Amino acid sequence: MVIYIYNLYVAATVVQLCYWILVFARLATYKAEKTTPLEITQEPVSVIICAKNEATNLEKNLDHILTQEYRYFEVIVVNDNSTDRTADVLAKYQDKYPILRTVNLKEKPAGIVGKKYALKHGIEAAKYDLLLMTDADCQPASKNWILLMQAQIRNPKRIGLAFSPYIKTPGLLNLFIRFETVYTALQYFSFNLIGLPYMGVGRNLIYRKTLYKDGSGFETHMHIASGDDDLFVNAVANQENVAMILEKGSFTRSEAKKNIKNFIRQKTRHMSTGTSYKSVHKVLLGLLALSHLIHYALCIFLFLIHFSTVFVFVWVAIRMGVVILVYASILRKFQEESLLKWIPILDFLFIGYYLFFAPTLFTRKTSKWK
């Protein structure tokens, strides 16, 4: 019986190595084509932000978007039934910046949850075909954010995936959230490189309005609270129409959740959309998580019963060596080098993350986005 458990452990470890060597290493060695701002053609862009009770974040971040060094753009903020000072803040900015437009929503149809309804109205109000999405709590990493985000959206590319890290602050929760964000980005960028794009993040996502219309917008998943980013990308992206945007100036940064309860609520909402992914994506992502979990669970079991301890350790060491090597390159791309020394611990702790959120994958709980 124990030999079968050992064989399962080896099999899970081999599956893990296949992901890290054959899939994730592609991102580690990926080199984006370098361009200078003067070489980039500027196409008109509509930046869209949905805001529900975001007065404080708008005061903190909106200036950084409205003062982008870009020739033709507008910023549309959808005020989604806010009850705070959001309307007053937007009115103040409109007096100063003519490129700022607002869409005020007072009510939603029954049964509609999340921000898709608000985002839909923002998209309908947009004057330009190129739509750049971000959130009220996000701040662009540079004055060339719009320039860099739109630079690669030329035929046949109609959608652009980018990175949106969290700001580094002290504490274990922040450390884990930043790691989880990197690991998620590692997956969606790497899967795109093998021709299987499956998600992006709405904090930093660009696509054409014509693509949105061709894909029927959010209509097929309007009833699900999340998914304005990952379910939309899952439905419309293919190996021909997706661009990867990894210039450091294209990042948007925001503050991570400061308490575990809010983080759990956020991730539960986000992960509930996974049940609506295409089958191939669900299988590959499920196998990745399951092999990761089995690798550590059986490793611990085999160590505890002192079965083939040397061989078990060798497999652990081989996998971890590959993981650290791949992460070393990717963390440099994402400007998260400080995470590297924590990778062995965080990689192990992630099995707890899988176990905690596993029930979410078998339920589709409807929840509000604010």
Q: What is the pLDDT of residues 239-264, one digit of tens each?
A: 999 999 999 999 999 999 999 999 98
Q: Are residues 150 and 284 in the same domain?
A: no
Question: How far, in Å, CA of 338 to CA of 56, rounded?
Answer: 29
pLDDT one-digit tens code per residue, 46-77: 999 999 999 999 999 999 999 999 999 999 99
Q: Are residues 21 and 113 in the same domain?
A: no
Q: What is the pLDDT of residue 144?
A: 95
* Contact partners, residue 321, CB within 8 Å, separation at least 6: none
Locate 73 and state its tokens. Answer: 């753009």
309: domain range?
2-28+279-362
Question: How far, in Å, CA of 114 to CA of 314, rounded?
Answer: 47
Work out the end-to-end distance of the chain between its first and last CA atoms, rounded to an integer number of angstroms: 50
Check residues 116 and 90 and name the one with the higher pLDDT. 90
Question: How far, in Å, CA of 190 to CA of 201, rounded?
Answer: 15
Last residue within a domain, chosen from 259, 293, 328: 259
Q: What is the pLDDT of residue 274?
A: 81
Cβ-based burial of 143 (10 A; exposed 0-12, middle 13-18, buried ≥19): middle
Check the CA dihedral 231-234-236-240 and report its sign: positive
Which position has the token pair 């540079």? 142
Question: How far, in Å, CA of 24 to CA of 323, rounded?
Answer: 9
pLDDT one-digit tens code per residue, 188-204: 999 999 999 999 999 99
Locate 95 and state its tokens. Answer: 């007096």
Which position has the token pair 């989604």? 80
Q: Are residues 20 and 80 in the same domain?
A: no
- Predicted TM-score (pTM) of the model is 0.93
Residue 180 lies in a domain: yes
Q: Are residues 121 and 41 in the same domain?
A: yes
Locate 209 and state its tokens. Answer: 């309005």
